[in-house]
Amino acid sequence: MNCTPPGWAAHRFPGGAFCVPARFAGQADAGWFDARRPDAAPVGEGGRQAAWFVDGVHGPAVLRHYRRGGLRARLGGRESYLWLGASRVRAYAEVRVLDHLRRAGLRVPEPLGAAYWRPGASPFYRNAILIARIAGAQALAGRLDRADPAAVAQAIAAMHAAGVWHADLNAYNILFDADDQVWLIDFDRARLGVVSPGQAEKNRLRLRRSLVKVAGARGAQWWDALSRCFPPC
């Protein structure tokens, strides 16, 4: 399997590697993926305190480092993943999914780069992804009173029709831009392939749980309106 989409350039550096679209091949360096870069400002909503707003030659962007949750995070190794080859690096896999969806015409962030660190041929690695920032974006969680269920249903159905199963479809991973267009984000652990009716339903029910957690009865009510907008299986 190719590690990167067509038209991308891969670069190695001591202790790791990164890839970027070819137009940035002569400008990018490993510092693009460093959360300590001077322009990094923490993203305050959603996630695991592992995302930062950044700006530069690549334009306004979001830098996200991959971090585990749950028991593994409490036991240590929050940012470490077992090395299974470059093609299995989670950041690279997410870049491929984003590229696939953008080619299919869906509104998802443009991937601007991905990197991994594996010093000394370690059996573990860390990784990060850089994606274009969506201007004026607001999460569904914070604007249920102004969100169109039909538009959200259409975006989710289009994602499934394009052959992508989202591993964490929740109220923070559905965004509205300044023009009220729906965007889907955070495709870590997403899977490419035919999405069965059962898998699609699993995605939708995960979103329902998120909406109820975020907004209680109002979230459940909004979900009911959303569910009526999905096309029949």
- Where in the sequence numbering do the catalytic residues fall? 168
Q: How far apart are CA 203 and CA 190, in angstroms?
A: 11
- Give me the half-sphere count of Cα atoms (radius 13 Å) on the Cβ side of residue 159: 30
Assess contact for 185 and 108: CB atoms under 8 A. Answer: yes
Please tell me the distance from the alpha carbon of residue 170 to that of residue 10, in angstroms, as a whole number.
Answer: 32
Classified as helix, coil or strand, 190 is: coil
Under DSSP, is residue 20 helix (H, G, I), strand (E, B) or coil?
strand
CA–CA separation, 80 and 73 (whole Å): 10
> Residue 13 pairs with which residues in a beta bridge?
16
Query: Is the CB of residue 125 less than 8 Å from the CB of residue 32?
Result: no
The answer to whether 223 touches 212, Cβ cutoff 8 Å, is yes
Q: How far is CA 70 from CA 8, 74, 95, 143, 218, in A?
A: 34, 7, 24, 28, 27
